[in-house]
Structure 1
Amino acid sequence: MKRIAVFGSTGSIGTQTVDIIKKYPELFSLTACFAYKNAQLVKAQADEHGAGYVGLFDADSHSDLKKSYCGKACVIDPTGDLSEVFAQSDIVVVSISGFAGIGVTLSALKCAKTVAIATKEVLVSAGEIVNDYVKKYNGKLIPIDSEHSAIWQCLQGINVGGDYRDHVHRLILTASGGPFRTFEKKDMENVTVEMALKHPNWSMGAKITIDSASMMNKGLEVIEAQRLYNVGVDKIDVLIHPQSIVHSMVECVDGNIIAQLGNADMRHPILYALTYPDRVDTRFGRLDLTKLSGLTFEKPDMEKFSCLALAYEALRMGGIAPCVLNAANERAVELFLAKQIKFTEISTFVHGRMIELCDNNIGDSAGCTLDDIMRADKLARRA
């Protein structure tokens, strides 16, 4: 029986994780559930599953929860000391957004815990620091993102006991291409919020759906891949795969390509992260290969999807550049959703912040600290 603590339990990944725990009661128990401010749902989750700990990251909401909660779980501040929670947990699922996710991840790794990571900001903004904690405290990091779970699975068994990087020619991340895959570059000027929110394959929140439409989401995953697998940026490629069946691939030096296929259902990579290194029978349906009409791949247009190009640029720059990219993009997406800027101005906004902050040498060394990252994040998000 694995004890699971979920940070971000009321979001998309969090609710699906709790659903998996419910469907596999013989394998998992919910030890703790924390959310940003959805008190009603987090209380219901804790009570239904008998969680020992519950809390909210928003200070006012947490204060109200502490006064009103009458359940059996201990109300604990998730921004404070979590050592008690980690002592009662085998796996820590991090799907809370922002710097809260970074703090939880570092605290869990410091306690030598296995962290199942779904929050992009953690690896994009603080990947080098996270990797240092993994090594220093003997923690473990397992990806939940479907693309990174796919690569993780493809790498299993490659040069067991040695360095898999000696056998890897390149990592190939697949992308659906979003709703604008067939658009001409000139047509991107007329993209509306409503158009950008219509993803062809996945059901996601507004922010990540916009990121998918701009392909910034894939750019962030390129940075994540470098952090997770410690390969050079030139060994990470992106291919557009409209069917979203092949989630990622690994091309070996001998020319063989290993691919991971599956339905577009996040519960599969979540389940794999929770059961790793074992596998269990799925209770969420299987991919029927006979119903596939074809699998196609194409190179992304880096001019049309300039956000993807910016992500590669930020990764090559290093230091705070990936953090600035991520934070500036979040601010730009907010402005786009509020209809204050055009879709094509998202990349313009991000590029401008990268030039302004990274060229001014604000902690842009290879060994930047968490304070450097926090400062860069704040400056990149400003109005």
Structure 2
Amino acid sequence: MQQICVLGSTGSIGKSTLDVIARNSDRYHVRSLVAGKNHQLMLEQVRQFRPEIAVMADTAAADKLRLAVKNEKLKTEVLSGAHEIALAAAESAVDTVMAAIVGAAGLLPTLAAVKAGKKVLLANKEALVMTGSLFMESVKQSGAVLLPIDSEHNAIFQCMPRNYGEGLGKVGVRRILLTASGGPFRETPIDVFPEITPAQACAHPNWSMGRKISVDSATMMNKGLEFIEACWLFGAKSSQVEVVIHPQSIIHSLVDYADGSVLAQMGNPDMRTPIAHALAWPERIDSGVAPLALADIGHLDFYEPCMRRYQCLRLATEAASAGGTAAAMLNAANEEAVDAFLVKHLRFDKIAEVVDFTLQSLPVARADSVDQVLDVDRQARILAKQQIHRLSHIA
């Protein structure tokens, strides 16, 4: 019986993870649940899964949850704060950690799980984007098992030879082909981008995701972050990773080999597939996902992304090439810009402008420590907020 810690249990990935666990309750026990402010949903999860520990990032939310747990005479211990979140991720009783806290907030608890040598199911791409070599070195030193949850990286992992860590060239891999749906605006005229609303940006045609990730998918920043993540996960140079638009989201990514073979992983667009794969790896379990009906799909399309349409993707690939602290700056500026867009303080077409301004305003340095990366993250957010304020006051 594997003991599971779910970081970000009330989010989209967290809920899908718990769905898979519920289908395989003879194999997995939820040891701990971690969330931000949604104490109502957390209470429902505590009722169903009866974890030993529940941690809320928000103290007020934890107080409300604690009272409800006490009133219902549940035995779950309720804790709060960043320190307790990291402790839950690294707890000795935990075997596997689902790292699904969105954004930079997921960095420290994910690193705590890695340093404790856990089996880490990585759904938080920002942790790896921000710290890169530091993160991968921690995985190596601790002996942690790192399994990707993003559908694209999980697909690449499934198509890679087991010994890819020896170097892609040495194992015959020529390219990684990272697929992208293109988001909801792949055919929208660029001149109407200034009028795009948060509701429109969050209406993804294929995937059910949180609001922040949905906006990132609309700008293709999500694919840019995945581009950076793929380089670190698989030891690839930026020249060895290519992005291709695939509107149907059926082929989740491909690996191109030197002999001309191209291996692809296919499936319905449902995050329970990569979650189930990583939970049970190297075995296979039921995920609840319907079988793929190729005859109903009929055809699969592919084309190159237009960098004029997807400026955030261009900025991310440039940050990948720059290395050092560039990706941390990119991520911080994007988080601030997306937050501003979601509350209608910034136009959709200005998100990339805020990110570009921030990258141009800060020098790129070596990422020598987590503290340094966090300091760069703080500086980038200050600059991004200043630019957002300026842009919001332009008539």
Q: TM-score range by the shorter chain?
A: over 0.9
Cross-structure match for 1:110: 115
Q: Deviations over 1:102-135 (max 9, x none)?
A: 1111111221111101112111112222111111
Q: Deviations over 1:14-68 (max 9, x none)?
A: 0111111111111211111111122222233223222111111123333454455
Are the counterparts in 2 of residues 102 and 121 from structure 1 also a CA contact under 8 Å?
A: yes
Q: Distance in 2 between matches of 1:226 and 1:109?
A: 19
Deviates more, 1:48-57 or 1:144-153: 48-57
Task: Give the alignment partner of residue 279 of structure 1, picking from 281, 284, 287.
Answer: 284
Deviates more, 1:291-300 or 1:123-132: 123-132
Cross-structure match for 2:312: 307
Are the counterparts in 2 of residues 154 and 258 from structure 1 also a CA contact under 8 Å?
A: yes
Deviates more, 1:77-86 or 1:274-283: 77-86
- Quote the offset at 1:334 in angstroms: 1.7
Partner amino acid, structure 2, of 1:377: D
Cross-structure match for 1:247: 252
Alignment of 1:356-375 (within 5 A): 356-357=361-362, 359=363, 361=364, 364-365=365-366, 367-375=367-375
Cross-structure match for 1:60: 60
Q: Mark the CA change 1:282 to 1:66 in structure 2 (over 3 Å): closer, same or farther.
A: closer
Instruction: State the Cα RMSD in Å.
Output: 2.0
Residues 1:268 and 2:273 aligned together: yes
Are the counterparts in 1 of residues 9 and 33 from structure 2 also a CA contact under 8 Å?
A: yes
Deviates more, 1:181-190 or 1:214-223: 181-190
4+ residue runs over 6 A deviation: none
Q: Distance in 1 between matches of 2:102 and 2:118?
A: 20
- Quote the offset at 1:78 in angstroms: 5.7
Cross-structure match for 1:89: 94
Cross-structure match for 1:215: 220
Q: Distance in 1 between matches of 2:265 and 2:232?
A: 20
Alignment of 1:67-78 (within 5 A): 69-70=69-70, 71-77=74-80
Partner amino acid, structure 1, of 2:56: L
Deviates more, 1:79-88 or 1:268-277: 79-88
Cross-structure match for 2:30: 30
Identity %, equivalent residues: 41
Q: Mark the CA change 1:238 to 1:84 in structure 2 (over 3 Å): closer, same or farther.
A: closer
Cross-structure match for 2:337: 332
Q: Deviations over 1:291-318 (max 9, x none)?
A: 1210110000012211100000111111
Q: Distance in 2 between matches of 1:19 and 1:165?
A: 39
- Quote the offset at 1:186 in angstroms: 3.1
Are the counterparts in 1 of residues 179 and 244 from structure 2 also a CA contact under 8 Å?
A: yes
Partner amino acid, structure 2, of 1:373: V
Q: Mark the CA change 1:260 to 1:87 in structure 2 (over 3 Å): closer, same or farther.
A: same
Q: Aligned residue pairs: how many? A: 377
Partner amino acid, structure 1, of 2:77: C
Q: Deviations over 1:222-270 (max 9, x none)?
A: 0110111111001011000011100000001111110000001111111
Partner amino acid, structure 1, of 2:374: M
- Quote the offset at 1:209 in angstroms: 1.2
- Quote the offset at 1:347 in angstroms: 0.6
Residues 1:188 and 2:185 aligned together: no
Residues 1:323 and 2:337 aligned together: no
Are the counterparts in 2 of residues 34 and 78 from structure 1 also a CA contact under 8 Å?
A: no
Q: Mark the CA change 1:193 to 1:41 in structure 2 (over 3 Å): closer, same or farther.
A: closer
Q: Mark the CA change 1:311 to 1:272 in structure 2 (over 3 Å): closer, same or farther.
A: same
Q: Mark the CA change 1:192 to 1:282 in structure 2 (over 3 Å): closer, same or farther.
A: closer
Deviates more, 1:261-270 or 1:89-98: 89-98
Partner amino acid, structure 2, of 1:246: I
Task: Give the alignment partner of residue 172 of structure 1, picking from 165, 169, 177.
Answer: 177
Are the counterparts in 2 of residues 32 and 85 from structure 1 also a CA contact under 8 Å?
A: no
Q: Distance in 1 between matches of 2:197 and 2:61?
A: 34
- Paired residue secondary structure (1:277): coil
- Paired residue secondary structure (2:91): helix
Cross-structure match for 1:9: 9
Cross-structure match for 1:18: 18
Q: Deviations over 1:66-121 (max 9, x none)?
A: 45532212234462262796311211011112344111111112211111011121
In structure 2, list runs of 5 or more residues that go unmatched.
Answer: 386-395
TM-score by length of 1: 0.93
